[in-house]
Structure 1
Amino acid sequence: MRRGKKQLNNKNVRHLITKLNPRSPISEQFKTIRTNLQFSSVDTELKSMLVTSSGPSEGKSSTTANLAIVFAQQGKKVLLVDADMRKPTLHYTFRADNRRGLSSVLVAETSLKDAVTSSDVGGLDLLTCGPIPPNPSELLGSKAMETMIANAQLEYDIVLFDTPPVLAVTDAQILANMCDGAIMVVRSKQTEYDAAQKAKELLEVGNAKLLGVVLNDREQKKGHYYYYGT
């Protein structure tokens, strides 16, 4: 049991590199991604974004968490939402209470204000998944979700959603239609081209504004930084 806890802690250290080592080359690349996102929205303000991937284990959750941190480090008021209501991880990563969260808000068991918790990163608040519901897709596509996003955008500069992989379930497609933009994560030497292309097409069917793709775990070459890696 102790060994398992130590492994989880080490994993979290790797996930939150922008918090633990904000001057590292990897953290700098997250800041570059942040800047590129801001340049992509010169004409329209990005208030809500989702992060997804084509399949599992491509790094979308750690990417979402680190992006939220670098936006908060810039002075933005940020809400990080765990919208992966099938395999939530946000409460593990930040060691947050998950007895209530997004699902609790969507079924009107609690208000958004009461479900949100603060993190130990200044400017960053968290909305965990909450109890896993039997109908995630229906909840994410509900009027209650639209209302939650609208209310969150009144309180925060950036609302960032971690969503399930596109090819696994329809959740990301559904949410993409409600957000200002979408980011897709692919993993070097793992994500197949056809899978990434299919995920892109499905997001476009969902009327997503695809802001860009984050390449995860690119091999570092001598004299060069990672584009992004964990």
Structure 2
Amino acid sequence: MNTLDIYKNDSFILKDAFDQAVMNLHILKKQHGYKSFVICGCEAGDGNTTIAISLAAALADSGWKTVLIDGDMRKKNDYKRLNENAKEGLSDYLMGRSALGSVIYDTTTENLSYIPCGELIDNPVRFLCSAKMDEARDELAKSFDFIIYDMPAINAALDAKVIAVNVDATILVSSIGKTTKKGLIEAANTLTEVNANLIGTIINKTDMDQYVACHEDYDYFQNERYAKKIKKSKKAKRK
């Protein structure tokens, strides 16, 4: 079976942001035993796939055995760079064409496995509600510390809603300058109406000024500002 290449972002700022997300999921795992999470956009184009990949890779880098599942079976493999070398995936398993083990791929990131979406399915909802999906969920829970589902936007399809009620928690992804307030509210209401455990929102596509405004000390150690503060303090004492 092919080893799939998982792309990583080397930006210190993005690593800092995902470190915070990893910390929060680690706390939820310790306090409540959470291990399975749906990542879905409010509206199409919010960038939830990039968030799901980066979050799964960050969890794997922390030493947790993690599997990332591409649950968007409404798009062909050709449209997804990660799936270019994948011959079979989730849809093939759900339709009984492949065993679960044969659709779990190793990746270039240690501790991270990946399940591609497989070939397009006209109506994936009925398969996501199937007994085979329940079986896959149970088997994956035995083998992995974290299970990350990358699902279509909640306001675009029912798919995320189906999985959200069967996982430990759901995280919405909203996009600065794109996600509308109405879209965010509708997405949150859709999940809470079915008692899905919505634990928060990741805000995507923020610019540097917006990030600094929320996390002004993000580079405190990177730029050794603590050392500058100590030097200033010593000078003040000499005077």
- In the superposition, the TM-score normalised over structure 1's length comes to 0.84
Question: In 2 relative to 1, CA 86–225 (structure 1 residues): closer, same or farther, beyond 3 Å?
Answer: farther
Q: 1:165, 1:114 → 2: CA distance? A: 27
Matched, 1:217 2:205: yes
Give the alignment partner of residue 130 of structure 1, picking from 118, 127, 150.
118
Give the alignment partner of residue 128 of structure 2, picking from 121, 132, 140.
140
Q: 1:90, 1:106 → 2: CA distance? A: 20
Deviates more, 1:199-208 or 1:65-74: 199-208
Please identify runs of 4+ aligned residues in structure 1 that moved more than 4 A: 88-91
Matches within 5 A, 1:14-163: 16=7, 19-21=8-10, 24-87=12-75, 92-94=80-82, 96-163=84-151
Taking only aligned residues, the RMSD between alpha carbons, in angstroms, comes to: 2.4
Q: 1:46, 1:222 → 2: CA distance? A: 30
Matched, 1:204 2:192: yes
Question: In 2 relative to 1, CA 48–123 (structure 1 residues): closer, same or farther, beyond 3 Å?
Answer: same
Contact kept in structure 1, 2:77 and 2:119, CA below 8 Å: no
Unaligned runs of 5+ in 2: 216-239
Contact kept in structure 2, 1:140 and 1:171, CA below 8 Å: yes
Give the letter for the 2:90 counterpart.
Answer: L
Q: 1:101, 1:30 → 2: CA distance? A: 27
**What secondary structure sits across from 2:200 in the alignment?**
strand
Unaligned runs of 5+ in 1: 1-12
Aligned residues: 211
Identity %: 23
Bigger CA radius of gyration:
2
Question: In 2 relative to 1, CA 90–166 (structure 1 residues): closer, same or farther, beyond 3 Å?
Answer: farther
- In the superposition, the TM-score normalised over structure 2's length comes to 0.81
